[in-house]
Amino acid sequence: MYANQQMEQISRENLAELQMRRLQKTLKWAFEKSAFYSNKLQEEGISPDNITALDDVQKLPFTLNTEIMQKPLDFLTLPLSSIMRIHMGDSSRKLIKMYTNNDIAQNVELMTRALVASGITRASVVGILGDFSDSRIMDVQYALELLGATVVPMGVAYEKAIPLMEMSGIDTLICAARYLIQFIVQMQAAGEDIADRHLLRILCLNENIQNSLRRHIERRMNTQVYDLFAPCELGCNGMLFQCSERRGQHLAEDCFYAEVVEFGNKRVIEGYSQMGELVVTTLAAEAMPLIRFRTGQAVMRLEEPCTCGRTLVRLATPVGITNT
């Protein structure tokens, strides 16, 4: 099943044309409106007019996490009066992320694709375990409601979440892995085994591309885990998502241009099945676009087409290419 079949099965030729149009628009927007990118590109002697092909992205400087943390507001392209939502990351990082109405709509669209790819339908009953002050959790709820699924906001007050799960017949959980582990412990303390709930699936929202607890969770709960990449810097849950095959993760290439770069240097890896660092350029972000953001995540491109029928490229981590 597809949430947006036209985009999820777009031809590679049409995708490249779309990416180029959006890339040029993003670069001009960031150059004119973002203090950070205006200064950085001028220092490098680069103009958006120099980028006339997708490969020309390699001429652009990288954006580092430390730069975002130091001056997050310098990345902002609009006055606060144009901002719809402001979100701060967890207490250890305190990363500020801002969104326009269009940013939120785009994030909900991408999240809807991820939900459908994992098998969620309007007949699903989905519990969301997490902090609803997190903008990304809000996008999950909006996407589920857009899809027509029954939504059970469970928060992080486990004494309430446990009876909510029991009475509502939840068949799917969406949460960060740390909340899930805490929930399992709380259920055990209450004399219950979460495996008895017969969940069909769990969608884990990960700061890292691969959830290191995935195999343990699947064995412990006798269910399937779908990993989503949800870094604070990108402010989106649906950039990388798993389909029913769960062999790597599909990239929402209409909204993100990805490169695989050798760790520790600037050389771009063009081929398949060679590990490198994921570098991302946003193609549709309005409030805080990112250009060649070095995620620090190890990935490789998978060459073979996915049997799910999606034409979007797949990326895998060292342990993300098996079905176990």
pLDDT, tens digit (0-9, with 9 covering 90-100), for 194-239 = 888 889 999 999 888 877 777 778 888 889 999 999 888 999 999 9
| 34 CA to centre of own chain | 23
Lowest mean per-residue pLDDT among 96-105, 126-135, 284-293 = 126-135
Domains in the chain, number: 1
pLDDT at residue 90, rounded to an integer? 65
The mean pLDDT of 114-127, rounded to a whole number, is 97
| CA-based nearest residue to 270, from 260, 278, 279 | 260
Beta-carbon contacts of 81 under 8 Å, excluding residues fewer than 6 positions away, are: none
pLDDT at residue 185, rounded to an integer? 87
Confidence label for 278 from pLDDT (cuts 50, 70 and 90): very high
Domain that holds residue 49: 5-315
Average pLDDT, the chain: 92
The answer to the question of residue 320 being in a domain is no
Number of other CB atoms surrounding residue 85 within 10 Å: 17
**Residue 172, beta-bridge partner list:** 126, 201
The answer to the question of residue 321 being in a domain is no
Cα separation of 84 and 99, whole Å?
A: 6
307, 310, 314, 316 alpha-carbon torsion, rounded to 10°? -50
pLDDT, tens digit (0-9, with 9 covering 90-100), for 239-267 = 999 999 988 999 999 999 999 999 989 99
The answer to the question of residue 299 being in a domain is yes
Question: Looking up tokens 């939840």, which residue turns up?
Answer: 170
Q: What tokens does 151 get?
A: 């939504």
Beta-carbon contacts of 294 under 8 Å, excluding residues fewer than 6 positions away, are: 62, 63, 64, 65, 261, 277, 279
pLDDT, tens digit (0-9, with 9 covering 90-100), for 127-186 = 999 888 888 899 999 999 999 999 999 998 888 888 888 899 999 999 988 888 888 888
**SS3 string of the chain?**
CCCCHHHHCCCHHHHHHHHHHHHHHHHHHHHHHCHHHHHHHHHHCCCHHHCCCHHHHHHCCCECHHHHHHCHHHHCCCCHHHCCEEEECCCCCCCEEEECHHHHHHHHHHHHHHHHHCCCCCCCEEEEECCCCCHHHHHHHHHHHHHCCEEEEEECCHHHHHHHHHHHCCCEEEECHHHHHHHHHHHHHCCCCHHHHCCCEEEEEECCCCCCCHHHHHHHHCCEEEEEECCCCCCCCCCEECCCCCCCEEECCCCEEEEEECCCCCCECCCCCCCEEEEEEECCCCCCCCCCEEEEEEEEEECCCCCCCCCCCEEECCCCCCCC
The answer to the question of residue 72 being in a domain is yes
The answer to the question of residue 84 being in a domain is yes
Inter-residue contact 282 to 26 (CB < 8 Å): yes
The answer to the question of residue 323 being in a domain is no
The answer to the question of residue 322 being in a domain is no
Query: Domain holding 244: CATH number?
Result: 3.40.50.12780
The answer to the question of residue 324 being in a domain is no
Cα separation of 8 and 254, whole Å?
A: 9
